[in-house]
């Protein structure tokens, strides 16, 4: 069974409303050429409903960039999984390194967010990755393994099968540096093996694992050719329609 392939764009905290609508419309225009790849755009909360109304079965999907740890209640400024699901969203990024680093998303918090997302029927895009210090000290595998165990391994076999994992080396996010295709494959293989050891080889072989970390049109093809890399979580390059399109088609080209 061939795993689902994804190219997901994370817009982070960027774009005004007119800019967001223009960019999303340009991405939609590319979708008529896409037949094998699931394309996802993670837009800021304030644009999700607006952009959702622009989709007309082109195969493009929206994702949230974060979610609250509770369903409803007196949590001013938070956005819950039931709210996102009511907009028709199917995906939510959880545990991005920026959330871990700047907003106090501990492993326990991330675990709660995973549960909230799955409970309403959405798919978490679970981010994991090591810092430069952790890689240079040889702790990169143990760091990522611990993040997986803490955030995901309480899930049932059925629930874990709904998760998309995104490996994002922190030292390669927004820096212009990219893990080599070999480095990325090595980590993706370790992640799949770790999932297999906790669950089964069948579960592990079906889970999509994406690479994130300064993915661009120049390096996407080499990354996508690795056997355990099932796509990309794209940051800055997803803010440029032509660059994002080239990354999507780098994946599509593998099916030719």
Which residues have a catalytic role annotated?
96, 168
**Backbone torsions φ then ψ of 55, nearest 5 degrees:** -80, 130
**Backbone torsions φ then ψ of 31, nearest 5 degrees:** -70, -20
Give the H/E segment covering residue 127.
Answer: strand 123-128
What is the sign, positive or negative, of the torsion defined by CA atoms of 104, 110, 116, 122? positive
Give the H/E segment covering residue 144.
Answer: helix 140-151
DSSP conformational letter for 42? E
Q: Are 113 and 69 in contact (CB under 8 A)?
A: yes
Q: Are 188 and 145 in contact (CB under 8 A)?
A: no
Dist. CA 1–CA 123, nearest whole Å: 20
Count of residues making up the chain: 256
């Amino acid at each position: 069974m061939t795993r689902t392939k994804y190219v997901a764009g994370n817009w982070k905290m960027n774009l005004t409303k007119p800019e967001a609508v223009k960019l999303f419309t340009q991405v939609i225009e590319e979708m008529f050429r896409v037949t094998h790849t699931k394309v996802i755009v993670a837009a800021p909360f304030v644009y999700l409903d607006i952009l959702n109304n622009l989709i007309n079965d082109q195969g493009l999907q929206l994702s949230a960039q974060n979610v609250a740890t509770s369903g409803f209640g007196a949590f001013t400024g938070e956005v819950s999984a039931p709210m996102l699901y009511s907009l028709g969203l199917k995906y939510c990024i959880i545990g991005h390194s920026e959330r871990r680093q700047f907003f106090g998303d501990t492993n326990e918090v991330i675990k709660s967010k995973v549960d909230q997302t799955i409970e309403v029927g959405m798919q978490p895009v679970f981010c994991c990755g090591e810092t430069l210090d952790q890689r240079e000290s040889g702790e990169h595998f143990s760091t990522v393994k611990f993040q997986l165990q803490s955030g995901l391994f309480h899930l049932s076999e059925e629930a874990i099968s709904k998760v998309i994992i995104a490996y994002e080396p922190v030292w390669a996010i927004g820096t212009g540096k990219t893990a080599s295709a070999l480095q990325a494959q090595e980590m993706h293989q370790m992640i799949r093996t770790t999932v297999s050891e906790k669950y089964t080889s069948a579960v592990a072989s079906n889970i999509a694992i994406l690479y994130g970390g300064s993915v661009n049109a120049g390096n996407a093809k080499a990354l996508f050719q690795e056997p355990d890399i099932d796509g990309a979580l794209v940051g800055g390059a997803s803010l440029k329609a032509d660059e994002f399109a080239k990354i999507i088609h780098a994946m599509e080209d593998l099916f030719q």
